[in-house]
Amino acid sequence: MSKKTRLLIVDDSVVFRTCLRSCVNTLADVEVVGAAQNGRDAIVKIKSLKPDLVTLDMEMPHLNGIEVLERLQKEAPNVCVLVLSSASETDAERTMQALKAGAFDFLIKPDPSNKNQKEILLSMLKEQISVARSVASVVRQATGVSRSNKRQTTKATHTRMAPKARKPDIVAIGSSTGGPMALQKVLTNIPKNFSVPIIVTQHMPKLFLASLAKRMNTDSKLECKLIEDGMPLESGCIYVAPGEIHTEVEHVGAKLHAKLVDGPKVHHCKPAVDITFHSLVKLAPRVNTLAIVLTGMGADGAAGAKALADKHAYVIAQDEASSVVWGMPGETVRLGAAHEVLPLNEITAAIIKRCEVG
Protein backbone atom coordinates (compact mmCIF):
# COMPACT_ATOMS: atom_id res chain seq x y z
CA MET A 1 0.00 0.00 0.00
CA SER A 2 1.45 3.37 -1.05
CA LYS A 3 2.26 5.98 1.53
CA LYS A 4 -0.31 8.73 1.97
CA THR A 5 0.58 12.32 1.03
CA ARG A 6 0.76 14.38 4.22
CA LEU A 7 -1.02 17.70 3.74
CA LEU A 8 -0.96 20.87 5.84
CA ILE A 9 -3.71 23.44 5.16
CA VAL A 10 -2.71 27.10 5.65
CA ASP A 11 -5.52 29.67 5.42
CA ASP A 12 -6.83 32.40 7.68
CA SER A 13 -10.46 31.59 6.85
CA VAL A 14 -11.93 28.91 9.10
CA VAL A 15 -14.73 28.42 6.57
CA PHE A 16 -12.30 27.68 3.74
CA ARG A 17 -10.08 25.50 5.93
CA THR A 18 -13.14 23.43 6.84
CA CYS A 19 -14.22 23.19 3.19
CA LEU A 20 -10.74 22.16 2.07
CA ARG A 21 -10.37 19.58 4.83
CA SER A 22 -13.78 18.12 3.92
CA CYS A 23 -12.68 17.76 0.28
CA VAL A 24 -9.32 16.20 1.11
CA ASN A 25 -10.86 13.74 3.58
CA THR A 26 -12.59 12.06 0.63
CA LEU A 27 -9.23 11.21 -0.95
CA ALA A 28 -7.92 7.84 0.16
CA ASP A 29 -4.26 8.64 -0.57
CA VAL A 30 -4.08 11.97 1.28
CA GLU A 31 -3.94 12.68 5.01
CA VAL A 32 -4.53 16.13 6.50
CA VAL A 33 -1.92 16.36 9.24
CA GLY A 34 -2.91 19.80 10.45
CA ALA A 35 -4.08 23.32 9.69
CA ALA A 36 -2.58 26.77 10.31
CA GLN A 37 -4.48 30.02 10.49
CA ASN A 38 -1.62 32.43 9.79
CA GLY A 39 1.89 32.52 8.39
CA ARG A 40 3.71 32.31 11.69
CA ASP A 41 1.66 29.29 12.72
CA ALA A 42 2.39 27.73 9.32
CA ILE A 43 6.17 27.91 9.79
CA VAL A 44 5.94 26.26 13.22
CA LYS A 45 3.68 23.46 11.98
CA ILE A 46 5.68 22.79 8.83
CA LYS A 47 8.76 22.24 10.98
CA SER A 48 6.99 20.01 13.51
CA LEU A 49 4.61 18.05 11.26
CA LYS A 50 6.91 17.76 8.21
CA PRO A 51 4.14 17.65 5.57
CA ASP A 52 4.77 16.57 1.97
CA LEU A 53 2.47 19.27 0.64
CA VAL A 54 1.24 22.65 1.91
CA THR A 55 -1.76 24.53 0.53
CA LEU A 56 -0.95 28.19 1.11
CA ASP A 57 -3.20 31.25 1.23
CA MET A 58 -1.58 34.51 0.12
CA GLU A 59 -3.22 37.06 2.42
CA MET A 60 -2.75 36.20 6.10
CA PRO A 61 -1.74 37.94 9.33
CA HIS A 62 1.66 37.33 10.97
CA LEU A 63 3.55 36.59 7.71
CA ASN A 64 1.75 36.57 4.37
CA GLY A 65 2.17 33.84 1.75
CA ILE A 66 5.24 35.39 0.11
CA GLU A 67 6.95 35.82 3.48
CA VAL A 68 6.18 32.19 4.35
CA LEU A 69 7.72 31.02 1.06
CA GLU A 70 10.84 33.13 1.65
CA ARG A 71 11.25 31.56 5.08
CA LEU A 72 10.72 28.06 3.69
CA GLN A 73 13.46 28.53 1.09
CA LYS A 74 15.91 28.80 3.97
CA GLU A 75 14.30 26.61 6.63
CA ALA A 76 12.34 23.85 4.84
CA PRO A 77 13.26 23.86 1.13
CA ASN A 78 11.97 20.34 0.41
CA VAL A 79 8.29 20.94 1.12
CA CYS A 80 5.99 21.37 -1.90
CA VAL A 81 3.77 24.44 -1.73
CA LEU A 82 0.55 24.84 -3.69
CA VAL A 83 -0.75 28.41 -3.65
CA LEU A 84 -4.50 28.99 -3.42
CA SER A 85 -5.38 32.25 -5.13
CA SER A 86 -8.43 34.33 -5.95
CA ALA A 87 -9.11 35.31 -9.56
CA SER A 88 -8.25 39.00 -9.25
CA GLU A 89 -5.54 41.13 -10.84
CA THR A 90 -3.91 41.76 -7.46
CA ASP A 91 -3.90 38.07 -6.55
CA ALA A 92 -2.57 37.15 -10.01
CA GLU A 93 0.45 39.38 -9.40
CA ARG A 94 0.94 37.92 -5.90
CA THR A 95 0.75 34.42 -7.36
CA MET A 96 3.50 35.22 -9.88
CA GLN A 97 5.61 36.41 -6.96
CA ALA A 98 4.82 33.17 -5.12
CA LEU A 99 5.88 31.02 -8.07
CA LYS A 100 9.12 32.97 -8.28
CA ALA A 101 9.57 32.48 -4.53
CA GLY A 102 9.31 28.70 -4.83
CA ALA A 103 5.67 27.54 -4.97
CA PHE A 104 5.42 24.70 -7.47
CA ASP A 105 1.95 25.65 -8.76
CA PHE A 106 -1.33 27.35 -7.89
CA LEU A 107 -5.09 26.83 -7.85
CA ILE A 108 -7.79 29.46 -8.18
CA LYS A 109 -10.26 29.23 -5.31
CA PRO A 110 -13.80 28.52 -6.53
CA ASP A 111 -16.39 31.25 -5.95
CA PRO A 112 -17.93 30.62 -2.50
CA SER A 113 -21.36 31.41 -3.95
CA ASN A 114 -21.05 28.54 -6.42
CA LYS A 115 -23.17 25.66 -5.15
CA ASN A 116 -20.65 23.24 -6.68
CA GLN A 117 -17.69 24.83 -4.87
CA LYS A 118 -16.62 21.62 -3.12
CA GLU A 119 -16.87 19.50 -6.27
CA ILE A 120 -14.81 22.02 -8.27
CA LEU A 121 -12.18 22.28 -5.54
CA LEU A 122 -11.96 18.51 -5.16
CA SER A 123 -11.48 17.99 -8.90
CA MET A 124 -8.62 20.51 -9.01
CA LEU A 125 -7.02 19.12 -5.86
CA LYS A 126 -6.97 15.55 -7.18
CA GLU A 127 -4.88 16.59 -10.17
CA GLN A 128 -2.51 18.84 -8.24
CA ILE A 129 -1.95 16.38 -5.41
CA SER A 130 -0.98 13.78 -7.99
CA VAL A 131 1.64 16.19 -9.32
CA ALA A 132 2.77 17.11 -5.81
CA ARG A 133 3.35 13.44 -5.00
CA SER A 134 5.87 13.24 -7.83
CA VAL A 135 7.85 16.24 -6.59
CA ALA A 136 7.39 16.03 -2.83
CA SER A 137 10.81 14.56 -2.12
CA VAL A 138 12.89 16.98 -4.17
CA VAL A 139 14.45 20.36 -3.63
CA ARG A 140 11.98 22.93 -4.86
CA GLN A 141 12.69 24.40 -8.27
CA ALA A 142 13.26 27.88 -6.84
CA THR A 143 16.63 26.74 -5.52
CA GLY A 144 17.75 25.98 -9.08
CA VAL A 145 18.84 22.49 -8.00
CA SER A 146 17.97 19.57 -10.24
CA ARG A 147 15.85 16.62 -9.29
CA SER A 148 17.36 13.90 -7.09
CA ASN A 149 19.47 11.09 -8.46
CA LYS A 150 16.39 8.87 -8.66
CA ARG A 151 15.62 10.68 -11.92
CA GLN A 152 18.17 10.48 -14.66
CA THR A 153 18.65 12.65 -17.71
CA THR A 154 17.13 10.94 -20.76
CA LYS A 155 19.67 8.99 -22.76
CA ALA A 156 20.88 10.46 -26.00
CA THR A 157 19.61 7.38 -27.88
CA HIS A 158 16.10 8.86 -27.61
CA THR A 159 17.06 11.93 -29.66
CA ARG A 160 16.90 12.34 -33.42
CA MET A 161 19.72 13.38 -35.75
CA ALA A 162 20.06 17.15 -36.00
CA PRO A 163 19.12 18.85 -39.27
CA LYS A 164 21.63 20.98 -41.14
CA ALA A 165 22.48 23.99 -38.97
CA ARG A 166 20.33 26.96 -39.96
CA LYS A 167 19.54 30.09 -37.99
CA PRO A 168 15.95 30.06 -36.74
CA ASP A 169 13.51 32.83 -37.65
CA ILE A 170 11.60 32.36 -34.39
CA VAL A 171 11.93 30.60 -31.03
CA ALA A 172 8.68 28.99 -29.87
CA ILE A 173 8.41 27.77 -26.25
CA GLY A 174 5.67 25.67 -24.66
CA SER A 175 5.27 25.04 -20.93
CA SER A 176 2.75 24.21 -18.21
CA THR A 177 3.19 23.00 -14.60
CA GLY A 178 6.43 24.49 -13.29
CA GLY A 179 6.62 26.66 -16.39
CA PRO A 180 6.77 30.13 -14.83
CA MET A 181 9.94 29.28 -12.90
CA ALA A 182 11.44 27.46 -15.90
CA LEU A 183 10.67 30.41 -18.19
CA GLN A 184 12.20 32.76 -15.65
CA LYS A 185 15.42 30.77 -15.63
CA VAL A 186 15.61 30.39 -19.42
CA LEU A 187 14.53 33.84 -20.56
CA THR A 188 16.12 36.22 -18.06
CA ASN A 189 19.59 35.34 -19.37
CA ILE A 190 18.85 35.87 -23.07
CA PRO A 191 20.99 38.85 -24.18
CA LYS A 192 19.45 42.20 -25.10
CA ASN A 193 20.69 42.01 -28.71
CA PHE A 194 18.93 38.66 -29.36
CA SER A 195 18.28 38.41 -33.09
CA VAL A 196 14.88 36.65 -33.36
CA PRO A 197 11.44 36.89 -31.70
CA ILE A 198 10.48 34.50 -28.91
CA ILE A 199 6.88 33.34 -28.51
CA VAL A 200 5.75 31.65 -25.29
CA THR A 201 2.65 29.50 -24.79
CA GLN A 202 2.14 28.78 -21.08
CA HIS A 203 -0.95 27.05 -19.65
CA MET A 204 -2.49 29.62 -17.31
CA PRO A 205 -5.69 31.61 -16.82
CA LYS A 206 -6.00 34.97 -18.59
CA LEU A 207 -5.25 37.28 -15.64
CA PHE A 208 -2.23 35.23 -14.62
CA LEU A 209 -0.71 35.32 -18.10
CA ALA A 210 -0.93 39.11 -18.08
CA SER A 211 0.92 39.11 -14.75
CA LEU A 212 3.49 36.65 -16.11
CA ALA A 213 4.21 38.90 -19.10
CA LYS A 214 4.49 41.94 -16.83
CA ARG A 215 6.90 40.17 -14.49
CA MET A 216 9.08 38.84 -17.34
CA ASN A 217 9.22 42.33 -18.84
CA THR A 218 10.70 43.51 -15.54
CA ASP A 219 13.08 40.58 -15.02
CA SER A 220 14.28 39.96 -18.59
CA LYS A 221 16.79 41.93 -20.64
CA LEU A 222 14.29 41.72 -23.51
CA GLU A 223 10.98 43.54 -23.81
CA CYS A 224 8.10 41.18 -23.03
CA LYS A 225 4.56 41.74 -24.33
CA LEU A 226 1.21 40.01 -24.01
CA ILE A 227 0.16 39.16 -27.55
CA GLU A 228 -2.60 41.11 -29.28
CA ASP A 229 -4.25 40.02 -32.52
CA GLY A 230 -2.20 41.00 -35.56
CA MET A 231 0.83 42.05 -33.51
CA PRO A 232 4.10 41.93 -35.51
CA LEU A 233 6.74 39.71 -33.94
CA GLU A 234 9.96 41.70 -33.70
CA SER A 235 13.47 40.43 -33.07
CA GLY A 236 14.67 40.73 -29.49
CA CYS A 237 11.19 40.62 -27.94
CA ILE A 238 9.33 37.98 -25.93
CA TYR A 239 5.64 37.50 -26.74
CA VAL A 240 3.33 35.68 -24.30
CA ALA A 241 0.18 34.04 -25.65
CA PRO A 242 -2.90 35.41 -23.83
CA GLY A 243 -5.43 33.24 -22.01
CA GLU A 244 -8.77 31.86 -23.16
CA ILE A 245 -7.75 31.99 -26.84
CA HIS A 246 -5.23 30.20 -29.08
CA THR A 247 -2.26 31.89 -30.75
CA GLU A 248 -1.01 31.17 -34.26
CA VAL A 249 1.91 32.64 -36.17
CA GLU A 250 1.39 33.82 -39.75
CA HIS A 251 3.49 35.43 -42.46
CA VAL A 252 2.29 38.90 -43.50
CA GLY A 253 4.48 40.34 -46.22
CA ALA A 254 8.05 39.95 -45.03
CA LYS A 255 7.22 39.80 -41.32
CA LEU A 256 5.85 37.30 -38.82
CA HIS A 257 2.65 38.29 -37.04
CA ALA A 258 0.61 36.78 -34.20
CA LYS A 259 -2.97 35.78 -34.89
CA LEU A 260 -5.46 35.07 -32.10
CA VAL A 261 -7.83 32.25 -32.97
CA ASP A 262 -10.88 31.15 -31.00
CA GLY A 263 -11.82 27.49 -30.92
CA PRO A 264 -12.18 24.46 -28.66
CA LYS A 265 -9.59 23.57 -26.07
CA VAL A 266 -6.77 21.31 -27.22
CA HIS A 267 -5.42 18.86 -24.62
CA HIS A 268 -7.90 20.58 -22.26
CA CYS A 269 -5.92 23.81 -22.73
CA LYS A 270 -6.52 27.25 -24.20
CA PRO A 271 -4.04 28.53 -25.20
CA ALA A 272 -2.52 25.28 -26.46
CA VAL A 273 1.10 24.81 -27.47
CA ASP A 274 0.17 22.47 -30.33
CA ILE A 275 -1.93 25.19 -31.99
CA THR A 276 1.06 27.54 -32.05
CA PHE A 277 3.51 24.84 -33.12
CA HIS A 278 1.26 23.55 -35.93
CA SER A 279 0.83 27.09 -37.28
CA LEU A 280 4.62 27.23 -37.61
CA VAL A 281 4.61 23.85 -39.38
CA LYS A 282 2.48 25.47 -42.11
CA LEU A 283 5.15 28.16 -42.56
CA ALA A 284 8.06 25.69 -42.86
CA PRO A 285 10.53 25.54 -44.49
CA ARG A 286 10.26 29.24 -45.38
CA VAL A 287 10.16 30.01 -41.66
CA ASN A 288 12.63 28.02 -39.58
CA THR A 289 11.59 27.36 -35.95
CA LEU A 290 13.55 26.52 -32.84
CA ALA A 291 10.97 24.78 -30.63
CA ILE A 292 11.46 24.33 -26.88
CA VAL A 293 9.21 22.09 -24.76
CA LEU A 294 9.57 22.77 -21.04
CA THR A 295 8.13 21.18 -17.90
CA GLY A 296 4.40 20.50 -17.90
CA MET A 297 1.65 18.01 -17.27
CA GLY A 298 0.10 16.16 -20.22
CA ALA A 299 1.22 15.96 -23.83
CA ASP A 300 0.49 19.40 -25.31
CA GLY A 301 3.22 20.48 -27.70
CA ALA A 302 4.65 17.03 -28.35
CA ALA A 303 2.75 16.35 -31.60
CA GLY A 304 3.45 19.88 -32.81
CA ALA A 305 7.13 19.50 -31.99
CA LYS A 306 7.23 16.21 -33.94
CA ALA A 307 5.58 17.86 -36.96
CA LEU A 308 8.07 20.73 -36.76
CA ALA A 309 11.03 18.33 -36.49
CA ASP A 310 9.74 16.48 -39.56
CA LYS A 311 9.95 19.85 -41.36
CA HIS A 312 13.61 20.23 -40.30
CA ALA A 313 12.97 22.54 -37.36
CA TYR A 314 15.19 22.02 -34.30
CA VAL A 315 13.56 20.77 -31.08
CA ILE A 316 14.88 20.92 -27.51
CA ALA A 317 13.08 19.18 -24.62
CA GLN A 318 13.75 19.79 -20.95
CA ASP A 319 15.12 16.70 -19.25
CA GLU A 320 13.25 14.70 -16.62
CA ALA A 321 15.67 15.48 -13.81
CA SER A 322 15.04 19.23 -13.91
CA SER A 323 11.32 19.13 -14.79
CA VAL A 324 8.63 19.63 -12.17
CA VAL A 325 6.48 17.31 -14.33
CA TRP A 326 8.00 15.41 -17.24
CA GLY A 327 4.76 15.13 -19.17
CA MET A 328 5.02 17.49 -22.15
CA PRO A 329 8.79 17.20 -22.66
CA GLY A 330 8.67 13.47 -21.92
CA GLU A 331 6.06 12.87 -24.60
CA THR A 332 8.11 14.98 -27.01
CA VAL A 333 11.04 12.66 -26.41
CA ARG A 334 8.88 9.52 -26.68
CA LEU A 335 7.58 10.67 -30.07
CA GLY A 336 11.15 11.01 -31.29
CA ALA A 337 10.80 14.76 -31.82
CA ALA A 338 13.71 16.02 -29.70
CA HIS A 339 17.15 16.71 -31.09
CA GLU A 340 18.44 17.55 -27.62
CA VAL A 341 17.20 16.71 -24.12
CA LEU A 342 18.77 19.19 -21.74
CA PRO A 343 18.65 20.18 -18.07
CA LEU A 344 16.98 23.52 -17.51
CA ASN A 345 20.23 25.33 -16.73
CA GLU A 346 21.66 24.46 -20.16
CA ILE A 347 18.72 25.49 -22.33
CA THR A 348 19.50 29.22 -22.51
CA ALA A 349 23.00 28.56 -23.85
CA ALA A 350 21.59 26.08 -26.39
CA ILE A 351 19.07 28.67 -27.63
CA ILE A 352 21.77 31.32 -28.00
CA LYS A 353 24.07 28.88 -29.81
CA ARG A 354 21.38 27.85 -32.32
CA CYS A 355 20.44 31.47 -32.99
CA GLU A 356 24.03 32.43 -33.70
CA VAL A 357 24.21 29.94 -36.60
CA GLY A 358 24.18 31.50 -40.07
| Enzyme catalytic residues | 176, 203, 300
d(CA 265, CA 268): 5
Distance of CA 94 to the CA centre of its chain: 16
- Burial of residue 107 (CB within 10 Å: 0-12, 13-18, 19+) is middle
CB-facing half-sphere around the CA of 199: CA atoms within 13 A: 34
173 within 8 A of 315, measured Cβ to Cβ: no
d(CA 358, CA 354): 9
d(CA 9, CA 18): 10
Phi first, then psi: what are they for 122, rounded to 5°? -65, -45
Strand partners, 326: 296
Q: What single string gives the DSSP state of each residue in 75-139?
A: H-TTSEEEEEE-SSHHHHHHHHHHHHTT--EEEEPPPTT-TTHHHHHHHHHHHHHHHHHHHTTS-
DSSP run (H or E) holding 273: helix 273-283
d(CA 275, CA 245): 10
211 within 8 A of 243, measured Cβ to Cβ: no
How are beta strands 30-36 and 80-85 bridged, if at all? unpaired
Strand partners, 129: none
CB-facing half-sphere around the CA of 277: CA atoms within 13 A: 30
